[in-house]
Structure 1
């Protein structure tokens, strides 16, 4: 599984319907599980982003479909970061020679 970090902001629509946000999160978790992925962590944040999620998905295509599905709901805008675990970081840096 590949790890991704989703940085999310509510849209105006999402902010207007903030009380429904927990239900939308539950639905998103189910959607991702049906696609073979999972939420590893979810945070409400202060600052530039409203929410941050740590997600695992089988591959980039699955995560792209999931992010597009979130966007079509109209409640959040996302930025996706592909995350490399420490062992991969060490391999990458070591491969530099």
Structure 2
């Protein structure tokens, strides 16, 4: 499974629905579980700043991650940005591989 980061910014209308926030969040999660049952959520955070929420999850591929973003957009997100995350230890292994090949000084 690959690790993905989802950054979500709510639409102005959705952001104003404070009293319905928990219900809207549950509906979104139920849709993700129904349409992407292989997705495993690792963490969910509310943010202060440019984005409203950050989700860390595991999915088998980029197409599944795209579905998660599309479900977010269909449920009141103004913007949903998905990023693939490489564990830092693996990142260091990759830099070591490149270094051994003489590509990095």
TM-score clears 0.5? yes
Match of 2:8 in 1: 8
Number of residue equivalences: 97
Larger mean Cα displacement after TM superposition, 12-21 or 51-60: 12-21
1:71 corresponds to which of 65, 70, 73: 73
TM-score by length of 2: 0.79
Alignment of 1:12-91 (within 5 A): 12-34=12-34, 35=36, 36-91=38-93
Question: SS of 2:49's equivalent?
Answer: coil
User: Displacement of 1:76 after TM fit?
Assistant: 4.3
TM-score (norm 1): 0.84
Q: Which runs of 5+ in 1 are unaligned?
A: none
Which stretches in structure 2 are left out of the alignment for 5+ residues?
A: 100-105
Aligned partners of 1:29 and 1:38 also within 8 Å: no
**Which residue number in structure 1 is paired with residue 102 of structure 2?**
none
Equivalent in the alignment of 1:96: 98
* Structure 1 residues 65-84: Cα deviation after superposition (integer angstroms, max 9, x where no partner): 12112112234421111100
